[in-house]
Amino acid sequence: MRKTATLQKIGYRKIIYLLVLLSATIPMLYPIGLPVIVTKQTQDLYEYIEKLPSGSNVAIEFAAYAGMYPDAQAATRAGLIHLFRRPLNIVLWHTTADGPMLLSGEMKYVKMGNRVYGKDHVFLPYVAGSEATTAALGTNIRGVFKSDSYGTPIDQIPLMKDINKAEDFAVILVMASAGGNEEWAVRQWMIPHHIPVGAYTISITYPMLIPYWRAGSVIGMTNGVRGGAEYEALIGSPGPGLRRTDVMSSVSLLYVALIVVANVEMMREKRPKQ
């Protein structure tokens, strides 16, 4: 009786929380370095970016939320490194208030090389709104943005001279979105303007994008931390993703173990007592 009272007093939750803490912390301190298999969706995204002709215009909707950013950080950083490494023209805007601060943190890891601001890349500021804003950007960027993040009027920026609508871009990439922005891009850029959509996204959004990927509306997407690790492996630039895969593995194994234990307990409870 005393043992049962103690277990009930401790509660199964505290035991589980302790196990989660251990399974997340130990691999961080003693990484194993398990290999990561690249999935088709990540491969498609990488290859599409890799095969874009030089001088293609790429639109990036940076939709990062601070709280959920760790899940998308690896893919976002790897995506930015890849994009800025290639000879592409990049126009980036923010749709979250956290975006500018988070982007400035990631740009420290991006090698700019011979890039000149205003000629091959532009950072536009934060714009509030939602699907309607995405739609408005697809038809008239100047209607939404009057200047860039630094206050330079958009008409004075050389790169923006011939860019004003969705059709002026080769692809739109949605980065670090908490979910929803990719669908907006599909509805407001892909369907009316036929501009393909790519997504560097969190793991929760990934299953939701599979129908669009199958239909060809989304050219490829990454899957949270694991997707970030895959993308890092593809571009040959290890980062937070590859460092976190062992934690992901151990915590996943713990979840499976808990499911097994729960079902064994349930079957024992259901067994008729003799």
**Applying CB under 8 A, does 238 fall inside the site for another protein?**
no
Q: How far is the CB of 203 from another protein (least distance, A)?
A: 7
Q: How far is the CB of 101 from another protein (least distance, A)?
A: 5
Nearer to another protein, 112 or 215 (CB): 215
Q: Which residue has the tokens 């630094």?
A: 150
Q: How far is the CB of 50 from another protein (least distance, A)?
A: 22
Q: How many residues make contact with another protein (CB under 8 A)?
A: 70
Q: How far is the CB of 207 from another protein (least distance, A)?
A: 5
Identified binder of another protein from the candidate list 124, 166, 172, 178, rule CB under 8 A: 178
Distances (CA, A) of 159 to 167, 183, 187: 15, 27, 26
Q: How far is residue 133's CA from residue 63's CA, in Å, rounded to a whole number?
A: 13
**Applying CB under 8 A, does 100 fall inside the site for another protein?**
yes
**Applying CB under 8 A, does 251 fall inside the site for another protein?**
yes
**Applying CB under 8 A, does 109 fall inside the site for another protein?**
no
Nearest to 167 by CA among 201, 190, 200, 148: 190
**Applying CB under 8 A, does 216 fall inside the site for another protein?**
no
Nearer to another protein, 81 or 202 (CB): 202
Contacting range for another protein; rule: CB under 8 A; set: 44-52, 78-86, 101-109, 152-160: 101-109
**Applying CB under 8 A, does 147 fall inside the site for another protein?**
no
| Contacts to another protein from residues 17-56, by CB under 8 A | 17, 19-20, 24, 34-37, 39-40
Q: How far is the CB of 217 from another protein (least distance, A)?
A: 12
Write the burial class of residue 24 (CB in 10 Å: 0-12 exposed, 13-18 middle, 19+ buried): middle
Q: How far is the CB of 268 from another protein (least distance, A)?
A: 12
Q: How far is the CB of 197 from another protein (least distance, A)?
A: 16
> Are the C-beta atoms of residues 73 and 50 closer than 8 Å to each other?
no
**Applying CB under 8 A, does 156 fall inside the site for another protein?**
no
Interface residues with another protein (CB under 8 A)?
12-13, 16-17, 19-20, 24, 34-37, 39-40, 65-71, 100-101, 104-105, 127-133, 135-136, 139-140, 143-144, 178-180, 191-192, 203-205, 207-208, 210-211, 214, 223, 226, 229, 245-246, 248-256, 258-259, 261-263, 266
